[in-house]
């Protein structure tokens, strides 16, 4: 129980409290009368108090139920917008993740799209030296899953341009969804990459990664970053193995600048787990919902138990 929607009903707890006080007084008076007429103490069996105790508990539980207890519940978040932004630079061809970083990323992204809460608008941006909007945000998640299959390796890493492209798409769909004078839908960018941006080289450039992260913050769109790969990754260029270790420092800083969270994934299982965590954050919202049922059931069980104990212990109902 998190809160009470109608706490005024708790005043009725005075009733079982008063009945308990009267019962105690009655038992004390009974002891005195027994001692006066018999000259000895009345036998004390704690079990004979069980029916009354359970009946009072039943009343207290029912009173709490009337006060409207609530609890946190998760419900699907409709109209939310999520933009998947996936790196397809040459380093994503590293085989430290089987079969390659990009192929594993494609599998995890498709699984994320398949499992995403219905009603959430999902879009896709792919980037290397340039960014391309492959799917505008849509509740048809299959469109994104199909587009993910068409990612291919290219030169350079223009992370900032990718975020700006995602922000533009979010702004466009937000205007459409808010056309009925409702609030703009909540949005999130999920950026998956294996290293630092290098186009432009300065992340504080007007089209740089840090500038884009600040723009996302200003628009109220957190960027969740996933650094994918290991420190031992390498790719073959001109018949030579070139090390491409995962570099998560820039990604973490981008997430912090935008108000988002950063994740690290060294394999496909880690990546799937990160996507699941993000889905729980974005795909569902937490609200206070009614929680009366447990209290009503507990009250009914206590009442039944009181009646049963009265018949077994005292051979009569507690009335």
For residues 299, 304, 309, 315, the Cα torsion angle rounded to the nearest 10 degrees is: 130
Contact by Cβ (8 Å): 84, 125: yes
Task: Please report whether residue 319 resides in a domain.
Answer: no
Q: Do 116 and 48 have their domain in common?
A: no
Sorting pLDDT into bands at 50, 70 and 90, what band is 211? very high
Helices (H), the chain: 14-38, 50-66, 101-115, 141-148, 159-177, 209-218, 249-258, 268-282, 292-309
Range of the domain at 46: 3-72+289-314
Contact by Cβ (8 Å): 19, 56: yes
CATH code of residue 184? 3.40.50.410
User: What pLDDT does 29 receive?
Assistant: 83
Mean pLDDT of 70-93: 82
Instruction: Give the distance from CA 56 to its chain's centroid.
Output: 39
Please give the backbone phi and psi of residue 92, each rounded to the nearest 5 degrees, phi first.
-70, -5
DSSP state of 288: E
Express as a percent the part of the chain with pLDDT over 90: 48
The answer to whether residue 104 scores a pLDDT higher than 80 is yes
pLDDT digits (tens, 9 = 90+) for 276-318: 887 777 766 666 777 888 888 888 998 898 888 888 876 655 5
Work out the mean pLDDT of the chain and round it to a whole number: 86
How many distinct structural domains can be found in the chain?
Answer: 2
Nearest Cα neighbor of 86 from 117, 47, 132, 20 is 132
Neighbours of 315 (CB within 10 A): 7
Q: Do 23 and 154 have their domain in common?
A: no
What is the three-class DSSP state of 121? strand
User: What pLDDT does 77 receive?
Assistant: 59
The answer to whether residue 180 scores a pLDDT higher than 70 is no
What is the three-class DSSP state of 222? coil
User: What pLDDT does 33 receive?
Assistant: 78
For residues 51, 53, 57, 63, the Cα torsion angle rounded to the nearest 10 degrees is: 100
pLDDT digits (tens, 9 = 90+) for 226-242: 999 999 999 988 888 99
**Count of residues making up the chain:** 319
The answer to whether residue 149 scores a pLDDT higher than 60 is yes
Q: Do 107 and 206 have their domain in common?
A: yes
Express as a percent the part of the chain with pLDDT over 70: 91
User: What pLDDT does 189 receive?
Assistant: 95
The answer to whether residue 319 scores a pLDDT higher than 60 is no
Pairing state between β 81-87 and 121-127: parallel
The answer to whether residue 37 scores a pLDDT higher than 80 is no
Q: Do 153 and 206 have their domain in common?
A: yes
Sorting pLDDT into bands at 50, 70 and 90, what band is 31? confident
């Amino acid at each position: 129980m998190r809160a009470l929607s109608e706490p005024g009903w708790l005043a009725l707890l005075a009733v079982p409290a008063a009945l308990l006080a009267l019962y105690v007084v009655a038992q004390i008076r009974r002891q005195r009368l027994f001692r006066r007429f018999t000259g000895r103490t009345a036998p004390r069996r704690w079990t004979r108090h069980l029916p009354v105790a359970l009946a009072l508990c039943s009343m207290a539980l029912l009173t709490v139920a009337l006060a409207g207890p609530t609890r946190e519940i998760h419900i699907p978040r409709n109209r939310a917008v999520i933009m998947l932004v996936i790196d397809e630079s040459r380093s994503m061809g590293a085989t430290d993740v089987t079969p390659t970083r990009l192929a594993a990323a494609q599998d995890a992204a498709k699984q994320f799209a398949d499992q995403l809460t219905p009603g959430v608008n999902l879009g896709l941006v792919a980037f290397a030296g340039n960014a391309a909007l492959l799917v505008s945000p849509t509740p048809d998640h299959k469109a994104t899953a199909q587009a993910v299959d068409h990612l291919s390796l290219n030169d350079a890493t223009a992370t900032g341009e990718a975020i700006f492209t995602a922000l533009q798409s979010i702004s466009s769909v937000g205007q459409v969804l808010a056309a009925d004078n409702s609030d703009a839908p909540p949005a999130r960018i999920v950026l998956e990459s294996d290293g630092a941006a290098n186009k432009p080289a300065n992340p504080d450039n007007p089209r740089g990664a840090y500038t884009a992260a600040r723009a996302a913050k200003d628009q109220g769109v957190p960027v969740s970053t996933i650094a994918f790969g290991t420190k031992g990754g390498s790719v073959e260029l001109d018949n030579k193995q070139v090390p491409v270790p995962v570099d998560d420092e820039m990604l973490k800083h981008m997430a912090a600048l935008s108000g988002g969270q950063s994740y690290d994934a060294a394999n496909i299982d880690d990546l799937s787990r990160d996507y699941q965590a993000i889905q729980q954050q974005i795909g569902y919202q937490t609200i206070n919902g009614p929680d009366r049922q447990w209290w009503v059931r507990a009250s009914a069980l206590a009442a039944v138990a009181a009646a049963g104990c009265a018949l077994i212990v005292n051979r009569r109902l507690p009335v």
